A and B are shown apart, each in its own frame.
Chain A
């Protein structure tokens, strides 16, 4: 009896192992191994012929710590990512709320698709299209000049504002989808109960809706902020000289053959984001937010 139980138990474990092995191996091969390799590269250096010297040293990290350029750019990139997150949230929250609460289910699907489908187009093309919209000879200036609202073109392209506009445009779907999902899951009876108990729409939103959709908001903020800090395509194409973000420093290092320095810069970014997540996790239950359950 005991033996049969044990064999059944072992069988279940074996099945579980079989189920877990492919994703685990994928994770190790595609994530753990490259990140570990990058961590090791960060302690190496390059010689005069751009060849990597595999001797452990802290040269790259000393270079990062010793020059305000690198940590300063990381801080300003975090600032840009924060602006992007706040901007995306300000757009996504009312949009998602409107779509779920006021649009018929048939149109709802179409609207959500209309917001997500542009994301299937290459980020390069979508970003470049903003050049044609906000450039000096672009659509925006043409419309404003034609309408007589301005006398000379607005110089919006190649400013920090154009970078933030581009980043919000690219990352809006990342914010929208989790918020939309959490609003859609809202239990109407809870909202009706609040209304029956005398809560006006504002108080109902603040004290009932907002806490219930908070997990979606936190998830949206996290998955928008993290990639936005390391962004380099949008700042490059829309920011020009004013668009130097930390991701551009990493790209330059790698394209200069300086893989150890690029790796060290990447590890600093990774560590900073993990630290941010830990801090956020202390105040909010990230597990619940990201997975949407207790």
Chain B
């Protein structure tokens, strides 16, 4: 065996070895179980593939909002849950409350493929969550057959033509930022005068409102029953309602809207960290991200998912402009408990005045 043959043989052995180890890694069965806290009907479709691939049983526990999730972690005690889905600033709150750990993104194979803004660390250089889905909120859904024409703005909604046919989401924070744009302010902390202006705007709007709802599923039912014609929505809520066969249109209000993100975080003292990292990586894989878009109508955070998606779905999600949109939109963030208390007071009073 000359030198060239020796090198070729060595290369072949290394190649075979690497291929074998890669295939071993891909099929690596971790075993055991993990405990995950998530929104209902949000990640369920992705679990069978994960359980089969890694041999890990996923115990899923649902919550209605992020605060309930954080309460559940605290009530169960650290060392119970492994992964929790948090977003729009709640991951920062959870980190301050030491409920979640810093993530070592080098352990996530798919992380390097995410859209650039989703790879950015927090200001302290750490990552505490990975973006699973994102989209726009503060939007409007309407039934064109009932409204008799297009709607483009909040000014259209509250023009007086649709009195008693408008539905609003019963979440103080959302009402605060919707009204911030409607009143012509910027998203962020607000002065007392701005809060007064927002309260005044809501006071004027509320007599036009037929009802409030807790979830976008409820919104779809109200639109389907004809109880309301126009509704507060986010893009995912709209697409899920549309998928149920509702004849509705989506509006990005001229006055402005906000973007949201949401994704898995590693709970502090997670009892199954290896399975938790594998799970988080699975949730941002192109396959799961493509399925997320198909099943729930949320835009993928991993652009590699686009290659696995139907062209019509890609077009409806606006994936061609995703990079451009991501660089332009403003994302929600934690504005603190005082902001939330103020928003709650303003919203409760707005509801009370129409009692």
List the interface of chain A (C-beta within 8 A of B).
46-51, 67, 69, 72-73, 76, 135-137, 155, 157-158, 160, 236, 240-242, 244, 249, 252-253, 255-258
Contact = CB atoms under 8 A, between A and B. Distances in A.
A269 to B, nearest CB: 16
A136 B225 contact: yes
Contacts, number: 79
B226 A136 contact: yes
B227 A244 contact: no
Contact of B96 (A49, A136, A249, A253): A49
B348 to A, nearest CB: 6
B67 A257 contact: yes
Interface string B64-78: 110110110000000
Contacts of A257: 67, 70-71, 337
29 contacts: A47-B337, A49-B96, A49-B336, A50-B67, A50-B70, A50-B97, A69-B348, A69-B349, A69-B352, A73-B355, A135-B225, A158-B211, A240-B210, A240-B212, A241-B206, A241-B209, A241-B210, A241-B211, A241-B212, A241-B354, A242-B354, A244-B348, A244-B352, A252-B344, A255-B65, A256-B341, A257-B337, A258-B337, A258-B341
B344 A136 contact: no
Interface of B: 64-65, 67-68, 70-71, 93, 96-97, 164, 168, 172, 206, 209-214, 225-227, 336-338, 340-341, 344-345, 348-349, 351-352, 354-355
Contacts of A258: 337, 341, 344
Nearest to A244: B351
A73 B344 CA distance: 15
A236 B212 CA distance: 9
A256 B354 contact: no
B225 A48 contact: no
Nearest to A160: B355
Contacts of A242: 354-355
A249 to B, nearest CB: 7
Nearest to B212: A241
Given A73-B352, A255-B67, A255-B68, A135 B337 contact: no
A235 to B, nearest CB: 10
A47 B68 CA distance: 18
Given A241-B211, A256-B340, A257-B337, A49 B227 contact: no
